Amino acid sequence: MANLTKFEFVPLDIFGKNYLSWVVDVEIYLDVIGLGNTIVEKNEASVQNRAKAIIFLHHHLDKSLKIEYLTESYDHLKLVVFPKARYDWLHLRL
């Protein structure tokens, strides 16, 4: 709980128990810092502002959610990169 001082509000729980309050907090805070338009559909925000919003959101997620997101995001690499790397390794010629 010592990490709470680093957050503007409580991070999103892995089970989503605080989802509704978290969403309201995110919307309000992003509006306050001028990034509210980055989370609406078909926005015209700059790439830098969208990146700032993503960093902010990432900072306010439970650690387990971050790990789950990364696992799902890069899971496809096992299907694409790993077989080629294995083939290259097995057919390495010295």
Q: Containing domain of residue 51, as a range?
A: 1-61
Looking at residue 7, its pLDDT comes to 65
Report the SS3 class of residue 68.
Answer: helix
User: Given this model, what pLDDT does residue 6 score?
Assistant: 63
Whether 57 and 67 share a structural domain: no
Q: What is the model's pLDDT at position 48?
A: 94
Q: How far apart are the first and last CA of the chain?
A: 54
Tokens (6 digits) for 56: 């902010």
* Same domain? 57 vs 75: no
How many domains, in total, are found in the chain?
2
Closest to 57 in 3D by CA, of 8, 18, 5? 8
SS3 state at 81 = helix
Q: What is the pLDDT along the chain (94 residues), one digit of tens a residue?
A: 444 446 677 888 888 899 999 999 999 999 999 999 898 888 889 999 999 998 888 888 888 888 887 777 777 777 788 888 888 888 887 6
Question: What is this structure's pTM?
Answer: 0.61
Q: Does residue 50 share a domain with residue 5?
A: yes
